[in-house]
């Protein structure tokens, strides 16, 4: 594949995906009518009491039509999922040395599955396809955990990649692990507002870390290609 094509999939499109995702979700948040998992009477979107997937519901918890917010949120997930699947499909080509190829291939396999899972979350609004939505959301982070763990080791072993990029990816890897533990073993969000806040805030923290990790990796890949 030509260098320009790799640059498109590894640098330009991931950065564009992040920008589009942020803009669409800001509009979606501002458009969300209201209601949370516990309290259906709240107005608007709460950063500490509304899950991200609340934006993708066809009807909000306040039982109002959530058309604009749902369309923007779900489209942003589908768009990002396709781009990230393409990113992992192509990034393995950067690590073609014999001692890196197999690990990069494994990482890309799970990264592509993570991208498809992200698309799946966007295609399954929680108030219509709850079971499928939960499956996609659950496996999304498990797939990305394996992918990030593999690529942390790949970047450490690469002779031209600075170790600080591997450390950034490693922090992302353990952040995903902590989030998985929190979501599985943490307080049940149905119990009370505090438990709901713990789960909601942890979800947003892993999202911010994910976006930062992707952007930082594009910087490292750009330096590598210069």
pLDDT of 124 > 70? The answer is yes
What was the pLDDT predicted at 49?
A: 96
Tell me the DSSP string of 66-77. -HHHHHHHHHHH
pLDDT, tens digit, 9 for 90 and up, residues 148-176: 999 999 998 887 888 788 888 889 899 99
Domain enclosing residue 127, as ranges: 3-225
Output the pTM of the full model: 0.93
| Domains held by the chain: number | 1
Per-residue pLDDT averaged across 76-88, rounded? 96
Q: Which two tokens stand for residue 36?
A: 């949370």
pLDDT of 1 > 50? The answer is no
What was the pLDDT predicted at 3?
A: 58
122 within 8 A of 77, measured Cβ to Cβ:
yes
């Amino acid at each position: 594949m030509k260098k320009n094509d790799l640059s498109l999939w590894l640098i330009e499109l991931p950065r564009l995906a992040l920008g589009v995702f942020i803009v669409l979700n800001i509009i979606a948040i501002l458009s969300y009518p209201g209601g949370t998992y516990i309290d259906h009477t709240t107005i608007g979107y709460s950063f500490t009491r509304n899950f991200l997937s609340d934006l993708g519901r066809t009807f909000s918890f306040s039982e109002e039509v959530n058309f604009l917010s749902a369309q923007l949120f779900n489209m942003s997930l589908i768009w990002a999922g396709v781009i990230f699947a393409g990113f992992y499909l192509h990034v393995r080509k950067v690590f073609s040395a014999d001692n890196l190829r197999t690990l990069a291939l494994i990482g890309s396999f799970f990264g592509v599955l993570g991208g498809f899972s992200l698309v799946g979350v966007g295609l399954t609004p929680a108030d219509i396809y709850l079971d499928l939505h939960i499956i996609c959301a659950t496996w999304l982070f498990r797939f990305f955990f394996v992918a990030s763990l593999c690529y942390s080791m790949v970047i450490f072993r690469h002779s031209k990649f600075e170790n600080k990029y591997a450390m950034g990816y490693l922090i992302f890897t353990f952040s995903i692990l902590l989030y998985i533990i929190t979501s599985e073993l943490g307080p049940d969000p149905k119990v009370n507002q505090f438990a709901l806040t713990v789960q909601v805030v942890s979800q947003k923290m892993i999202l911010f870390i994910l976006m930062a990790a992707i952007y930082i990796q594009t910087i490292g890949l750009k330096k590598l290609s210069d």
